[in-house]
Structure 1
Amino acid sequence: MLEYDPLACLPSSEELPDSDDIPVDNELQDLIPTLLKAVLAMAWADRMDWFFGVDMGIYYDPNQPPIVPDGFLSLGVERYFDENLRRSYVLWEEKQVPILVLEVVSQTYRGEYTSKKEQYAMLGALYYVVYNPMRSRKPRLEVYKLVNNEYQSLLGNPIWLPEVGLAIGMEQGTYQGITREWLYWYNEQGQRLLTPEERTQQAEKRAQVMAERLRSLGVDPDTLV
């Protein structure tokens, strides 16, 4: 008896474009999600069940073009380390809807508060995060949670996301030499997770302190193996 596998008829992630080829409007649309991904890579270095995509296509229907958020987080999926990594995110392969999607608003609105919000609700993404750095009278950071197929606004900064196990928020900081307001991850106590650059600086300071202590004891740290 022949067995029919409907998934075998669908294109794979290797065959599908990784994005919609629409260029980002400004650097922040790349830098902000890249920073969030870099922080997770350090904080969750031992976890093998997550993926953070940046400007990557999410394929939910083989007959429809992909949805391409500026960033998205999926949990419960395999973390790839091979040379090809993920070329796109295909729901009929991954079997996990992203738990969080992120849009960074530029001077040109692209439906972040309307059509994209509806798309992500249809997709079933639990959290929808919108960051608009140009706002002054309205909140720059908005976080929504999907409740009964509709997004409800969450208040605070940072905002705790229990299903993720982290909070997301904004504050002033420096990344790649650029000092401005950035989005960061926080733990349950509200402490911001360090960036890779900050971790390196912290390690260098500890090494300097240790070297000074050794010198005060008459030991040259440069001679230690």
Structure 2
Amino acid sequence: MLEYNLPRYLPSAEELPDSDETPVDNELQELIPGLLKAILLILWSERMDWLFAIDMGIYYHPDKPPIVPDGFLSLGVERFYDEELRPSYVLWDENVVPIFVLEVVSPNYRKEYTTKLDEYAVLGVLYYVIYSSRRRRKPHLEVHKLVNGKYELQEGNPVWLPEIGLGIGCERGNYCGVTREWMYWYDEQGQRYLTPAEQVKQEVQRAQQAEERVQQLTEQLRALGIEPEVRIVG
């Protein structure tokens, strides 16, 4: 919950700006959180109690500008509350602090390791995740967990997030036709969840394998002098 002294009368999300007008300066800032969201849309398709937002402002006080992470996840909120969707995330309306925030470091350093780290700690964001593909001597992915009001760096790749029920990590793969290192969700055993394109490919392969199996069985029956009965479904 919020610890700020908020004014008595508070504006709604519709009355607040829905953007800070700051353009992204790296395409990865949209593609990486976009991939994570796309996987969740399939993985949690039956759940309606979560929100993964991309480049959406988080308002914590009506007189202060919003914090705009590259991506964030909230649990225990309405996935949609009307057909217009959310213009922004207003903490005094939602009453739920995001549990996971993602920042993708761009060529133009934006205080991901200093100011933003402190801001998310004050808000009470449990997991603050930073991804920087340009780092040479340190891991590209850092997962910080809030412990007693301070962030502690978690070890491993992927890192299991028990409060979310998912792991987060990075490895090489293909997304949007680009082969490089991407961020993915993982299960508790460290197995990566498939992207939507990979799931489609897997289903096609299964269908092809099933068809090949039917053809093999048909040929075996014919070799025994048995003509398979063909049933037309429809």
Task: Provide TM-score, normalisation by structure 1.
Answer: 0.92
3-state SS of 2:122 partner: helix
Q: Alpha carbons of 1:65 and 1:101: their partners in 2 closer, same or farther (altered >3 Å)?
A: same
Which position in structure 1 is the counterpart of 2:221?
none
How far apart, in 2, do the equivalents of 1:79 and 1:205 lie?
33
Q: Deviations over 1:111-152 (max 9, x none)?
A: 000001111111110010000011111111001011111111
* Partner in structure 2 of residue 91 of structure 1: 91
Does 1:147 pair with 2:147? yes
CA deviation string 1:30-63 (max 9, x = no partner): 0000100111111111111110010000000011
1:108 aligns with 2:117: no
TM-score (norm 2): 0.89
Whole-angstrom CA distance in 2 between matches of 1:200 and 1:216: 24
* Corresponding residue for residue 127 of structure 1: 127
Shift of 1:209: 1.2
Provide the rounded CA distance (Å) in 1 between the counterparts of 2:77 and 2:20.
23
* Deviation, structure 1 residue 211: 1.8
Q: Which residue of structure 2 aligns with residue 41 of structure 1? A: 41
Secondary structure (helix, strand or coil) at the match of 1:122 reads: helix
- Larger Rg belongs to: 2
Residue number in structure 2 paired with 1:3: none
CA contact (8 A) 1:60 1:91 kept: yes
Alpha-carbon RMSD across the aligned residues, in angstroms, is 1.9
Q: What residue is the counterpart of 1:51 in the other structure?
A: 51
SS in structure 2 of the partner of residue 9 of structure 1? coil
Displacement of 1:18: 2.1
- Which residue identity lines up with residue 39 of structure 1 in the other structure? I
* Aligned-partner Cα distance in 1 for 2:196–2:8: 41
Structure 1 residues 59 and 86: alpha-carbon distance in aligned structure 2, compared to 1, 3 A threshold: same
1:69 corresponding residue in structure 2: 69
Question: CA distance change for structure 1 residues 211 and 82 in 2, over 3 Å: closer, same or farther?
Answer: farther
Partner letter of residue 174 of structure 2? T
Please give the alpha-carbon distance, in whole angstroms, between the structure 1 residues aligned to 2:209 and 2:47. Answer: 31
Aligned residue number for residue 170 of structure 1: 170
Give the unaligned 5+ runs of structure 1: 1-5
| Alignment match, 1:31 | 31
Paired with 2:208 and 2:82, the residues of 1 have a C-alpha distance of 37
Which whole-Å CA distance do the structure 2 matches of 1:213 and 1:106 have between them? Answer: 50
How far apart, CA to CA, are the structure 2 residues paired with 1:94 and 1:146?
A: 21
CA contact 1:7–1:92 (8 Å) conserved in 2? no
Aligned pair in 2 of structure 1 residues 192, 112: CA closer, same or farther (>3 Å)?
same
- For these two proteins, the number of residue pairs brought into alignment is 219
Q: Deviations over 1:7-50 (max 9, x none)?
A: 88311112222221101111100000010011111111111111
Report SS of the residue matched to 1:31.
Answer: helix
Distance 1:9 1:25 in 2: 36
Distance 1:45 1:110 in 2: 33
**Which amino acid is 2:213 matched to?**
R
In 2, the alpha carbon distance for the partners of 1:101 and 1:130 equals 9
SS of residue in 1 equivalent to 2:215: helix
SS of the aligned residue for 1:77 comes to: coil
SS of the aligned residue for 1:145 comes to strand
